Chain A
């Protein structure tokens, strides 16, 4: 933990950091690529819709002696349609899925199966779904999605500002797209459970984004009253400052879902638990990723278009250039030293410049600054934070 805690501290103070905002083009590129892949997957491979969406019947048996082959034959014979039989767990229980059945046919199939398995009809679980039910679930889900998105964008626009709301919306759509894409590419079956999972991602993915935005809002509150950082740099700082928090919240959110997935997929061998957990798992992972590398950089991009912010950024850069001019010669080695800590080209340079300016003002020359880097940076940090 000590190492992790230390990492957290260093991230918090901005000693190290990943330049998410500066390198946003790369992240955008990655996301666009994934999105394109997702779309391609949906268009080319299509989604494998479960029986719940197409109409049909799913029978679940308890532990039996009957083989998968036998069960399939019986089911196909009785129903006259193709049957899909899977074993669940290792005790020989089975899931038999037949699509395109109406109620009567599925009753007949159920009876035939029960007879073959030697159990009373009542103890053979059946789920018979009319073809319109899935449509209804899907329509309602779309409707819910639409209403939620509108409401949440309004809310975020009030609680934060419209740029953040827009960025959050894009991040959210990004997560949903990725999840759907994974389903298409891997060929997981889409069931009502999947839809539930997808809809939950809505709330959850935003949870992460909101945590990050909250830090960002605080960090940039006094943006115009300082001349040290550009908006993008501040955004990146806040992002790195809340990085540990974001990762922790995501991990903690994923742990129970992982447990569900393990139990649902491993012990039960499928079914509702597994379906919900799977889409949640994919969606939450995408959500953690997007709230860090998509949402905040997007806000930064949008903000930087604002005239006020642009003017301030210009002032900051001008001031920095002036400072850099004065100290150019010796500044470079220090720059590199810092840049190696964080793989950024722009941002980490900045605090270093800043440090150089502050002690210079106090009257201390370069010497002490380079050696106890942590100290001087620690000193510089809260002043940034205070804003």
Chain B
């Protein structure tokens, strides 16, 4: 026995030198307890004490949309476009009032929309799938979406302020004539009150300048037009001279011509506008669906949720397809902050010039040009002059985000890509619960079988394995719980499956190590040196095979789509945890327990009984021991 002890000494010293964690098992164990404590603490502190469940376990609807390549535009399917589409779909789905709906890209051409149970799945599907329509419609009249009378009072005051004080003549005129026009249109006194409220709201927001009210202006023109009203359109300077003259003429004509025959229609529209309910998400949805399905040639009523306003809008004057490009730009020259620049196709430029010329002669709110997406107003800049030249910009109180949003909407009309429903799956919470339960039962049985097998085969050693499995389970569970809120990880059925399969991978590492120890014991070593000598070799095997597993999981995660990803993620996570557990828990624990008499004496229940393992007798070991030990130490 003397020689093995010497061996132990040398190998332990080496270990101390190379890796402190191995030499000081207590420290590694402390570290892993600390990690576990931290994770569990974090879990409770964050309040996410269970993993977020995927749609297939929690119930709900999951829709996978695949981008369909257009014949001529193959590169349209790219990350930028997909992200834009995700933003737009998110807007739509959230417009449904769906809580916690999730829209994300997957792979290089898919978008997954997860809608939890309890929302109108049918409606959601329709919303998600339809190709949205974008168009510019002239505003016929506007009202506040807020029915509350208090607002009206407040608003009126504000309007006075913004309209008359800070602004140019045009704007002041606008305010005045608008009221007259409105009261003329609507016989109801309540209506006129409503109308006033509307102007109020707009004025209000403009004054506070914390909203995205915009103005259209020609590129490179002074800022006066922009600030003149809460929203304005402008265009190229080159056309400016003409613009003024044209505007006057056409505008006058158009105004006269339009008013008379449209009188009757306008009244109807006004009634519709009054009836329009924009106060709730559901109502807004209904209105936008109705408006979205309307004929482009017909006037519509639509909500402007961002401004809490509603509008009666004329026929589509410029279709969204006429916009060839749009971008968000930070205007440094004139200090307007974020603006949106856009370009029109030749046909679009002509139409746009005509319409803006007409609009510029109108009074507020009829000089506004609403940008309508899916039956909902996303922006309604006012126009103060004819905008020719095929270029225009919208200015106002944009933030970077809002300007980019608007630019995207303008650029892509709607979704930048056309999509098809690749798969739709609806799971009731009952079935989801059953699946989860079955998965957990299977996991429990699997774990129990592994534990029993280890117990029978490795006896005392299996206690270490079981403890390690438990540590691994705790780590996996807490990490999964925390990853839910952190990176949006959702536990779905394949992920559960991956976790169960991982039990085997984790237990395999212990087997590799235990068998190594046993081999060393068979060589006639006593337990402590056997444990230390077995480790470097087992470690290499474990690292190499875990790396291969991890590689498989990583490749799958990156390349594949759909449910495969959830599976790959769990597998990769558990493989990493396996390495952590073996290094920081199993090995140190083994080192510690090897000092215990139960194991070191080779108790018949320890699983390390040299006799049962068929080790050579101590006599021989002592006699021949030194010779084999020396070269081996170098290898280890």
Check if A130 sits within 8 Å of B66, measured CB to CB: yes
Q: How many Å lie between the Cα of A203 and that of B548 in the bound state? A: 6
Q: Is A65 an interface residue (CB 8 A)?
A: no
Check if B614 sits within 8 Å of A5, measured CB to CB: yes
Q: Is B593 an interface residue (CB 8 A)?
A: no
Check if A200 sits within 8 Å of B571, measured CB to CB: yes
Q: Which of B447, B457, B540, B612 contacts A6 (CB 8 A)?
A: B612
Check if A203 sits within 8 Å of B571, measured CB to CB: yes
Check if B450 sits within 8 Å of A62, measured CB to CB: no
For window 103-125 of B, CB contacts with A under 8 Å fall at 107, 109-110, 117, 121
For window 213-245 of A, CB contacts with B under 8 Å fall at 214, 218, 221, 241-242, 244-245
Contacts of A123 in B (CB 8 A): 428, 430
Q: Which of B442, B501, B552 contacts A264 (CB 8 A)?
A: B442
Q: Is A338 an interface residue (CB 8 A)?
A: no
Give how many B residues have a beta carbon under 8 Å from the other chain's beta carbons.
Answer: 89
Q: How many Å lie between the Cα of A236 and that of B445 in the bound state? A: 36
For window 260-310 of B, CB contacts with A under 8 Å fall at none
Q: How many Å lie between the Cα of A366 and that of B503 in the bound state? A: 51
User: Which residues from chain A sit less than 8 Å from chain B, CB to CB?
Assistant: 1-2, 4-6, 8-10, 12-13, 52, 60, 62, 103, 122-130, 132-133, 136-137, 140-141, 143-144, 147-148, 151-152, 155-156, 159, 192-193, 195-196, 199-200, 202-204, 206-207, 210-211, 214, 218, 221, 241-242, 244-245, 248-249, 251-260, 262-264, 267-268, 271-273, 276-277, 280, 375, 378-379, 382-383, 385-386
How close is A111's CB to chain B, nearest CB, in angstroms?
Answer: 10
Q: How many Å lie between the Cα of A252 and that of B455 in the bound state? A: 12
Q: Is B366 an interface residue (CB 8 A)?
A: no
Check if A140 sits within 8 Å of B560, measured CB to CB: yes
Q: Is B595 an interface residue (CB 8 A)?
A: no
How close is A152's CB to chain B, nearest CB, in angstroms?
Answer: 6
Q: Which of A207, A267, A280 contacts B508 (CB 8 A)?
A: A207
How close is B544's CB to chain A, nearest CB, in angstroms?
Answer: 5
Check if B422 sits within 8 Å of A8, measured CB to CB: no
Check if B560 sits within 8 Å of A256, measured CB to CB: no
How close is B107's CB to chain A, nearest CB, in angstroms?
Answer: 7
Contacts of A127 in B (CB 8 A): 423-426
Contacts of B497 in A (CB 8 A): 196, 260, 272-273, 276-277
How close is A308's CB to chain B, nearest CB, in angstroms?
Answer: 21
* Segment at the A interface, from B391-399, B431-439, B478-486: B431-439
For window 439-456 of B, CB contacts with A under 8 Å fall at 439, 441-443, 445-447, 449-450, 453-454, 456
Check if B522 sits within 8 Å of A13, measured CB to CB: yes
Ordered nearest first, which 7 A-B pairs have the shortest CB separation? A9-B614, A256-B446, A203-B552, A253-B504, A259-B446, A263-B442, A133-B422
Contacts of B624 in A (CB 8 A): 379, 382
Contacts of A132 in B (CB 8 A): 66, 420, 422
* Segment at the A interface, from B219-227, B510-518, B580-588: B510-518
Beta-carbon nearest neighbor of A144 in chain B: B559
Check if A256 sits within 8 Å of B454, measured CB to CB: no
Q: List 18 A-B contacts (CB under 8 A).
A: A8-B518, A123-B430, A132-B422, A133-B66, A141-B564, A143-B559, A144-B555, A144-B560, A148-B555, A193-B494, A195-B564, A203-B571, A204-B504, A249-B511, A252-B508, A257-B504, A272-B493, A385-B628
